[in-house]
Every structure is written in C-alpha cells, then in structure tokens.
Amino acid sequence: MPNVLITGADRGLGLSLCKEYLQRGWTVFAGKFMEDFTLLEDLQAQNTSLHILWLDVGCEDSINEAVQAIIRTTDHLDMLISNAALMGDVKCKLYEPPMELEQVWDSFRVNALGPLLLVEKFMPLLEKSKEKRLCFVSSEVACITLMQHRHDSPYPYPMSKAAMNMGIRIMHNYLHPKGYTFRLFHPGWMKKRAPDGSLSETALYDPDFIGEIAAKYFDKNLGDEHRLVMVDYNGYEWPW
Amino acid sequence: MKNIVIAAKETDFEKALAAVFTREGYHVHSASDLPSDFNEPIEYLLDTTDKYNEEDTFTLTGGINADVIEQTLRENVLVSMALLERFLPQLDAGQGKRLFYISSAEASINETHAERGYGYRMSKAALHQFLQMTWNKLTPKGYTLRLFDPMTEDVLPHAAAEAAYHYVTRRRGMENEDGRRDDEDRLVLRDAFGRAHGW
C-alpha cells in the first residue's frame, strides 16, 4: 500500500487526513508538534500503520531528523502533505505601532520556508516513488487578488501564505517536468479541536468533513496535471 | 517645495529617480539621511527597496539556502514595513498620500517560469500581499499606491525613472480626464513599459 507524510497532524485537518488515509489502508507518517495533544497516540493505539514522528517544519534540523526516522521504516515516500502552519496571536497592524516585524519572519519561516525545506529534504524518498505527489494546505488569505477589501487582518499569516504559493509555483516549474504532481488546497474555516478531542463552537466546518474532501482531492488523478491551481473545499479554483 | 522621501539614493535607478523628482521641483530626502526629528509633511514615499542576493540561484536539488531566503525577506519586506510605519504620520499630514514600491513581473505567481530565485520571488509575493492589505487600510484615508517593475535587465535607469515619475505623479486611468476610466480602486503592478501584470 502507498504511504504518506502529513505535517501538523496533532489536531484539525492534519489529524483528519491521518484518519482518512489509514481508512484507505495507507501507511501514514504523522508529524507531531504539540506536546499537549495526544489524539495521534489515541489513533495509533487503534492502527499500527500510523507512525508518529516529531516534526517542527520551522526547523531544518527537525526536518532532517524526520527524514532519518522515516528511512528506518521505508525507502520511499508516495505523498507529502504539507499541512502545518503558524497563525499565532500576532500584533502587527498599521496604526498600532510598533508592528512586531519578527512575527512576519516567524510566520514566513514556518508557513513559506518550511514547505520548501520539507520538499527538498524528502526528495530522495519521493524520487523512489511512482506517485511523487506534493500536497499543500494553503488559505484564501494567500490570494492577493481577493485580499482586497479584507480590512484589519494582521499582516504575517496572509503574507506568509502568499509567499508559500510563490514558492510552490517555483517548485512546480522545476518538479512537474520531472514527474511530480501538485495539489494546493484551501480548507475553509474549520472548527478547532481541543486536547480532549472536542470541537470549538466557532467556525463553520468539522475538520473531519473537510479532511474527507481534501483526501479525495489529494489522492485522485486529474486530467490537467500540468496546471498549478488552488482549489477550495467546494472544488472552486481561486486566483493568485 | 513638496517633500518626498526615497528609501535610498544608492542604485542607478534610485539616483535617476531622485534626479527626475528634483528636476520637477520636489525636495527629495533620502530616508537614511533624514534626522529623527524631521517632522514636515511628506507627499510621496518612494520605497525603492529591491534587493537580489547573488546566491539566490539554487534549485530544489541544488541545496536550499535558508539564510539567503531569510536575508532577502528581511531586506525586501521587513525594511519596507518599517519604513512605512516610520513615515506614516508625516504622510498622513501630507496632501499627496501616494506610496511607491518596487517589484518585478518575475515575482508574479501567475507569470513566472522561474525554477530558482526563491528568496527574491517569495519575498516579493509577501510584499504584494502586504501592499494589498495596506491598500485596504489606507485607501479610505485617501492614499493611492504604485507598484512598479523598473525592468532593470531591459530598460536603462534614467528611462525607467522617467516612467516611474509619470506613474507616481499621474492619477491612474485619468489621463483623458474621463472619470469612467479611473483605475485607482485596485492595486496594480505595472512595468516600465506601462504593462500591467497579474499577481
């Protein structure tokens, strides 16, 4: 059966994607980052195809260690799902000085540079797969065109996600001719899962509902693989 | 005499741009030379920040240099954010309320065919989103923004500076005094030939 690495798998969409691929019989490598969440361990107790590894995508050394951990189990990787992201409680708005500019770098480091390093480090394993599928969880706030008229958001997260999309474009230019296929997904506004597994009241969607949609989109083969597009949970394409 | 602030007068384009505005009767201050107690109203901020690291040539298989990417982000984005925050009160006090930034059509996610240059292009994409969000914040206060590709490889600095001057000082879409052609209600990236580029 195929295998997949999913980052940011402690909760939310990442955890839901783990469940989806385990149900499909895949071997799942789940990147864990949050010590106070044990939902992955609960899932592992029910399924031996789930392998948990510590992975901070904002840290190059951590990514290298995750590569070594996976190499001990397999010699290839079929699919990589870059889901981990940093939103943070940020103070970075005009007219509310001083803007905490280091938070722009922090967001960029995790959300834009992280996926780039992740793909680079796991390429030797991806190269040994016929699938070579790279999936990225992005956001509507990455969309520069439609960001117009959205007032008062803090800067770092949308800026980092726009930069991430650019990084993926350059990756696509380089890797698609080498047989890689890409998925870029906007999951919508999902409820947050607490350490006890309960979901928040705010937000619109259960991550399990979105996870099912995302897993289908990531897994299926498309007729227009040469195109790089960002698709949302309704299947609509978004502009850049 | 109207005050305008330019980020620096170091590159050939910056020197040419400062010279054009000086010729046209503006008092052009370099941000780095301004004393901290300078508090006169400013008409335009010409943020010419545009750094390209010569080591920013790696591909995914050539070894991603995270330090180069970080440095480029800091130089192209964080510097610009700090510059705007610093001069915002004086821009608020000025009449012009126009902000000018440098980018490149090669930093268009739509258009780029690049397989390398992650630092520059990702930093500019972040800058584009910063400017879109800043546009949201500042246009209700009467601000307009200009994003300009000087086409450094193809256009001589003085020609690019002349194009930039007209782009900065004219109301976009109003050249024919036809209000139906006004085009200030969106952020646009234009190059030195006047062409608009997608994000």
- Between CA B88 and CA B107 the distance in angstroms is 26
Three-state secondary structure along B44-101? EEEECCCCCCCCCCCCCCCCCCHHHHHHHHHHHHHHHHHHHHHHHHHHHHCCCCEEEE
Are the CB atoms for A233 and A188 separated by under 8 Å? yes
Q: Is the pLDDT of residue B158 over 90?
A: yes
- Between CA A48 and CA B21 the distance in angstroms is 69
Pick from A46, A20, A16, A52: which is nearest to A33 by CA?
A52
Could you report the per-residue pLDDT of A91-106, keeping only the tens digit for each?
788 888 888 999 999 9
A71 membership: H or E segment, kind and range? helix A60-71
Provide the pLDDT for residue B149.
Answer: 98
Residue B175 tokens read as 């050249």
Q: Is the pLDDT of residue B182 over 80?
A: no
The three-point CA angle A69-A74-A79 to 5° equals 95
Could you report the per-residue pLDDT of B147-157, keeping only the tens digit for each?
999 999 999 99
Interfacial B residues in 103-122 facing A (CB < 8 Å): 107-110, 112-118, 121-122
Among left, alpha and beta (phi > 0; psi -120 to 50; other), residue B167 is alpha
Provide the pLDDT for residue B50.
Answer: 97
Provide the pLDDT for residue A87.
Answer: 86
Contact assignment for A170 to B66 by CB distance below 8 Å:
no
Pick from A60, A180, A175, A161: which is nearest to B60 by CA?
A175
Sheet of A27-32, strand order:
A50-54, A27-32, A3-6, A79-82, A133-137, A181-186, A230-232, A237-238
- Between CA A35 and CA A52 the distance in angstroms is 12
Are the CB atoms for A21 and A6 separated by under 8 Å? yes
Q: Is the pLDDT of residue A121 over 90?
A: yes
Sheet of B144-149, strand order:
B27-30, B3-6, B44-47, B98-102, B144-149, B189-191, B196-197
Interfacial B residues in 140-199 facing A (CB < 8 Å): 186-187, 198-199
Compute the average pLDDT of residues A67-80. 97
Is the pTM of the predicted complex or chain greater than 0.90?
A: yes
Q: Is the pLDDT of residue B174 over 70?
A: no
Contact assignment for A105 to B73 by CB distance below 8 Å:
yes
Q: Is the pLDDT of residue B90 over 80?
A: yes
List of chain B residues whose C-beta atoms are within 8 Å of the C-beta of residue A117: 64, 66
Q: How confident is the model at residue B179 (pLDDT cuts 50, 70, 90)?
A: low
Could you report the per-residue pLDDT of A167-225, keeping only the tens digit for each?
999 999 999 999 999 999 999 888 888 888 888 888 888 999 999 999 999 999 998 99
State which amino acid sits at residue B128: H
Compute the average pLDDT of residues B2-26. 97
Interface size between A and B, measured as CB pairs under 8 A:
138
Contact assignment for B77 to A159 by CB distance below 8 Å:
yes
The three-point CA angle A216-A218-A220 to 5° equals 65
Q: How confident is the model at residue A148 (pLDDT cuts 50, 70, 90)?
A: confident
Could you report the per-residue pLDDT of B110-138, keeping only the tens digit for each?
999 999 999 999 999 999 999 999 999 99
